[in-house]
Every structure is written in structure tokens, then in C-alpha cells.
Amino acid sequence: EPEVTQTPSHQVTQMGQEVILRCVPISNHLYFYWYRQILGQKVEFLVSFYNNEISEKSEIFDDQFSVERPDGSNFTLKIRSTKLEDSAMYFCASTFGAPVSSYNEQFFGPGTRLTVL
């Protein structure tokens, strides 16, 4: 069964460093998402990406965040200068087909745990 994959599973970085979190969505999916989950808290929407551009972003997704689809398979989240409060689990998700309705099951990746020291 096709699945969303994420690398690395755990990333440790120093405050102020740049990190890139990588995701490989399911191959025929068109719509991609990043979410974060601070330990013990709810899942928070960061950004959605469609047709090579951001289609929706939350207030959390400020200028230190960026997303990119550098090739036909990868979808990346870059945090330019990490802060302690960026420590969280980051989930990538993808959906099949264009967002013409409110339904499209999101397939989640296993997550990358980011620890900022």
C-alpha cells in the first residue's frame, strides 16, 4: 500500500540553525500539507501546497518557514533559524486529487521529531 514517508525520523539541532524536513508524498497525490504537534498538544495546521505554490497557511507559518517541491517526489519544510519553541513533531500529509470538495482523506507520514537545543 502506498504511504507517505518522512526523513529523518528525529532531528536534533542547535537554536538558530536551519533545518530541512523532508517528505515524499504518495506519488499520484497533488495536495500536500505540513502540520506540527508540540509534545502533548493538538495537531496544528501549518501550510498546504498545491500546483507548486502555497494555497493556504496558518499564522504559525511565518517568514522563518518555507516549503518547496524541489523535484517530482520530495516536499520539504525549511525552518530558517530554529527557536526552542519549534521543538515538535512535524507531520507531512498528502491528498489525492484536486481540492474541489471538502473531502479528501489525508494520508499522514510517520512524522519527524525536531528537538531544538
Partner 1 sequence: AQKITQTQPGMFVQEKEAVTLDCTYDTSDPSYGLFWYKQPSSGEMIFLIYQGSYDQQNATEGRYSLNFQKARKSANLVISASQLGDSAMYFCAMREKGTGGFKTIFGAGTRLFVKA
In the complex, the residues that contact partner 1 under the rule CB under 8 A are: 31, 33, 35, 41-45, 48, 50, 54-56, 58, 89, 91, 93, 99, 101-108, 110-111, 113
φ, ψ for residue 75, nearest 5 deg: -135, 120
Nearer to partner 1 among residue 10 and residue 15 (C-beta): 10
- Kindly state the smallest distance separating residue 79's Cβ from partner 1, in Å: 20
Nearer to partner 1 among residue 49 and residue 86 (C-beta): 49
C-alpha triplet 106, 58, 66: angle, nearest 5°: 85
- Kindly state the smallest distance separating residue 91's Cβ from partner 1, in Å: 6
Q: Are 110 and 8 in contact (CB under 8 A)?
A: no
Q: Are 30 and 96 in contact (CB under 8 A)?
A: yes
